[in-house]
Amino acid sequence: MVLVYIDQADQQIKKSSLEAMSYGAAIAKQLGCEVAALVLGTVQDNLADLGKQGAQKVFHLKNESLNALDVKSHSTLIATAAKNANATVVVFAHNINGKAIAPAVAVKLEAGLVTGASSLPNTENGFVVTKTVFSGKAFASIQIETPIKVIAINQNSFGVVAYENTATVEEINIPIPAASIKITKLEKVEGEIPLTEASLVVSGGRGLKGPEHWGILLDLAKALGAATACSRPVSDSDWRPHHEHVGQTGIQIAPNLYIAIGISGAIQHLAGVNRSKTIVVINKDPEAPFFKAADYGVIGDAFEVVPALTAAILKMKSNA
């Protein structure tokens, strides 16, 4: 069996977990075995609908105490569920939670681990998984030789595949370990699209010259229905909140569209966004390094180009 861990936030299943579910279903098809989802905590979504992403079964450990991530207890529960289901492959989304939990689960299962997988494993001669390395500049093919295998799939590298299935939901009962952490305060960012889940991202750099000019970027993001981000110098200068910082030392993202406005494209920034499907760069400096990585580039003043682009998008939407 292939077991897929379904991550959640605020009792809503994350998009990255739906992609992991489709990825796990594809592996199960390769191996000729069943695929099941594992959900910890309480969720508002209809779990049977995970069949639409390929799940045949859903194992649900329903307990509100599991809604907040505790790596120690969650990894123990996931490993136990995997053993009970005789799972030979355990799949995670390579998001913030997956990066924390997958290695711990691999240790408990004495399993080989590949994080940041970018494609389906090659099972013609063994079990070989391809992953990105060197901040996305190259790929490595890794053969997992252990009986149990743990894989964390890069976000937006496989996609969510539609199936005409309805999964059966089974409530499971596993002893929950004592909590190893205690949440004393929780601050939530309201009304924003989470960067790690966003398909469209509009990002700004020092070329916008100050926080007072950020309105043109926010207008473009609103017109597109996109999340907003920024470079490290912007967050370090307190022009924008630190949770919007994308790059090697910030949040690493892989949206379908990434629009960089007034960002030169230092290697540290590129390392966090180079898995984007399409990169558009708007910069008045024709020598900006970002143009070498861009799919499309606009050489021009952002204060002229961005409002014109926003107006064109709004006009197109009004005529649709």
In a domain, residue 278? The reply is: yes
Q: Taking phi first (over 0 means left), then psi (-120 to 50 degrees means alpha), and beta for anything else, what does residue 291 get?
A: alpha
HSE (CB half, 13 Å, CA atoms) of 26? 17
| Within-domain flag for 112 | yes
The answer to whether residue 177 is domain-embedded is no
pLDDT, residue 278, reads 96
Tell me, yes or no, whether 14 and 104 share the same domain. yes
Q: Is 26 a domain residue?
A: yes
pLDDT confidence of residue 190:
67
* pLDDT value for 273: 94
Domain end (from 171, 206, 230): 171
Tally of domains in the chain:
2
Residue 188 covered by a domain? no
**Per-residue model confidence as pLDDT tens for the chain (320 residues):** 999 999 998 889 999 999 999 999 999 999 999 999 999 999 999 999 999 999 999 999 999 999 989 999 999 999 999 999 999 999 999 998 999 999 999 999 999 999 999 999 999 989 999 998 887 778 999 999 999 999 999 988 888 999 988 999 999 999 999 888 888 887 776 667 788 889 999 999 999 999 999 999 999 999 999 999 999 999 999 999 999 999 988 998 999 999 999 999 999 999 999 989 999 999 999 999 999 999 999 999 999 999 999 999 999 998 87
Domain limits at 298? Answer: 195-319
Residue 150, classified by CB atoms within 10 Å of its CB into exposed (0-12), middle (13-18) or buried (19+), is buried
Are both 200 and 120 inside the same structural domain? no
Question: Is residue 184 in some structural domain?
Answer: no
Q: 171, 204, 231 — which closes off a domain?
A: 171
Nearest-10 Cα torsion for 266, 269, 274, 280: -80
pLDDT in the model for residue 191: 63
181 lies in some domain:
no
Q: Are residues 155 and 237 in the same domain?
A: no
What's the CATH number where 230 sits?
A: 3.40.50.1220
Please indicate, yes or no, whether residues 251 and 297 belong to a single structural domain of this protein: yes
Q: What local confidence, expressed as pLDDT, does residue 155 receive?
A: 87
**50 and 151 housed in the same domain:** yes
CB 89 within 8 A of CB 2: yes
Question: Is residue 208 domain-shared with residue 311, that is, in the same domain?
Answer: yes
In the listed set 118, 138, 171, which residue is the last one of a domain according to the structure?
A: 171
Tokens found for residue 15: 């998009």
Q: Do residues 79 and 165 share a domain?
A: yes
Per-residue pLDDT at 136: 74
Q: Write down the pLDDT at residue 113.
A: 98
Between the alpha carbon of residue 89 and those of residues 24, 85, 86, 106, 305, the distances in Å are 8, 11, 9, 10, 49
What is the CATH number for 75? 3.40.50.620
Query: pTM for the complete prediction?
Result: 0.86
Determine the Cα–Cα distance for residues 140 and 241; give it in Å rounded to an integer. Answer: 35
Q: Is the domain of 224 the same as that of 312?
A: yes
Q: Are residues 10 and 152 in the same domain?
A: yes
Phi/psi at 246 (nearest 5 deg)? Answer: -110, 145
The residues pairing with 3 across neighbouring beta strands, listed in sequence order, are 36, 90
